[in-house]
Structure 1
Amino acid sequence: MFWLIRAKRWAKHPPSTKRIIFVFGIVAACVVLYLIERAGLLPEWMQLEGRGGMRF
């Protein structure tokens, strides 16, 4: 039900063009980083050291 109120608010006062471009830019940067990581092209300093789970 809350999403209907939010949708009404967005319809009356849509976000600015700058904000939309900003959000899509962040999403695009995340997608590019994900694709580079999946391709194995990340430099060694950006890699995690351990892939195992936590041990107690």
Structure 2
Amino acid sequence: MNPLWLMRMAKWVRHPPSLRQVQIAAVVIALVALIWGLDHFGFWPDWARVERAPRVPRL
């Protein structure tokens, strides 16, 4: 594990985030999970999907 994560975890223990920050993070994670679930189970509309552009051959 990267030692910077240990420093960040120690900082969070000493100075925990506010309730507002935790709520915002929870809402963002829930939205990401909802969008992923819709896409995974086939309910995401086709017009909202991104298609990869064809690869351009190198010269």
TM-score w.r.t. structure 2 length?
0.71
Q: TM-score when scaled to structure 1?
A: 0.74
What RMSD in Å do the two structures reach over aligned CA positions? 1.9
Total equivalences in the alignment: 55
Which residue does the alignment assign to 2:43? 41
Select the residue among 24, 29, 32 that pairs with 2:31.
29
Q: Distance in 2 between matches of 1:5 and 1:54?
A: 42
Gaps of 5+ in 2: none
Counterpart residue number, 1:54: 55
Q: Supply the distance in 1 between the matched residues of 2:22 and 2:31 (Cα, whole angstroms).
A: 14
Identical amino acids, percent of aligned pairs: 24
